[in-house]
Chains A and B, each alone.
Chain A
Amino acid sequence: AQSVTQLDSQVPVFEEAPVELRCNYSSSVSVYLFWYVQYPNQGLQLLLKYLSGSTLVKSINGFEAEFNKSQTSFHLRKPSVHISDTAEYFCAVSDRVKRASGSRLTFGEGTQLTVNP
């Protein structure tokens, strides 16, 4: 079984400030890790993912996340946020076990990032 904990349910910041959204996971096997973003009244979109290789992964809009195996964390960061980054952010984990029944993505409870002017 696997689980995801997002440590902050709400993160308010001012525009151009740095931000970190924290995510910790628990799994008995190796995992893949994801961050999804949900803008108001929309579905979830993949922001970035860690599958293998470099532990630092980046998105096209300036977000980055670092996989830390020893701390079982995958925190999301951005050095300078924009008002348009206001959204709900979900961390998710999927185990690496291949099975005929397919895999399931387990989501954290989400972090609402609100960027104020």
Chain B
Amino acid sequence: DTAVSQTPKYLVTQMGNDKSIKCEQNLGHDTMYWYKQDSKKFLKIMFSYNNKELIINETVPNRFSPKSPDKAHLNLHINSLELGDSAVYFCASRREVGSNTGELFFGEGSRLTVL
């Protein structure tokens, strides 16, 4: 069983469209994250949710809206897609709440290409 699963794995779309990426973790973790990896492989945190509550919201355009229906799911919706949104988006999860020792478990990534 995949611990952190993301769908779709690949997404090609036109500028201006709206798209969603879904993430599910079956590890029983409390905290989930979205990271963006650009073409130079640089990883940047976007959002973090703990038990469905937003706890980290980096400087991300408000075209990006995370939604957590329950603590096992964290979806990412992107409105009005732009060329610069092309990247690989990684979902991750972590067990501890208020603790820094837990490792992050990553999904395999969703490669978004905006044409």
Q: Which residues does A use to contact B, with CB under 8 Å? A: 32, 34, 36, 38, 41-46, 49, 51, 88, 90, 94-105, 107, 109-110, 112
Interface 9-mer from B64-72, B75-83, B94-102: B94-102
How far does the alpha carbon of A101 sit from the alpha carbon of B100 in the complex, in Å?
Answer: 11
Q: Check B101–A51 contact: CB distance below 8 A.
A: yes
Chain A contacts of B101 at CB under 8 A? Answer: 32, 51
Q: CB < 8 Å: which of A36, A43, A45, A102 contacts B97?
A: A102
CB contact under 8 A between A101 and B106, given known A109-B41, A110-B42: no
How far does the alpha carbon of A61 sit from the alpha carbon of B41 in the complex, in Å?
Answer: 24
CB contact under 8 A between A102 and B55, given known A32-B101, A51-B101: yes
Chain A contacts of B55 at CB under 8 A? Answer: 100-102
Cβ contacts B49-71/A at 8 Å (1 or 0 each): 01000011000000000000000
Q: CB < 8 Å: which of A34, A38, A101, A107 contacts B56?
A: A101
Q: Check A102–B104 contact: CB distance below 8 A.
A: no
Chain B contacts of A96 at CB under 8 A? Answer: 100
How far does the alpha carbon of A38 sit from the alpha carbon of B35 in the complex, in Å?
Answer: 14
Q: Check A95–B104 contact: CB distance below 8 A.
A: no
Q: CB < 8 Å: which of A45, A97, A99, A107 contacts B43?
A: A107
CB contact under 8 A between A99 and B98, given known A46-B103, A109-B41: yes
Tell me the total A-B contact number using a CB cutoff of 8 A: 64
B45, CB-defined interface residue at 8 Å: yes
Q: Check A43–B106 contact: CB distance below 8 A.
A: yes
Q: Check A44–B41 contact: CB distance below 8 A.
A: no
How far does the alpha carbon of A3 sit from the alpha carbon of B104 in the complex, in Å?
Answer: 18
Residue of chain A at shortest CB distance from B54? A101
The contact sample of 22 A-B pairs, CB cut-off 8 A, is: A38-B41, A42-B109, A43-B90, A43-B108, A43-B109, A44-B104, A45-B106, A46-B104, A88-B41, A98-B98, A99-B98, A101-B55, A101-B56, A102-B31, A102-B48, A102-B97, A107-B42, A107-B43, A107-B44, A109-B40, A109-B42, A112-B41
Residue of chain A at shortest CB distance from B4? A43
How far does the alpha carbon of A83 sit from the alpha carbon of B23 in the complex, in Å?
Answer: 32
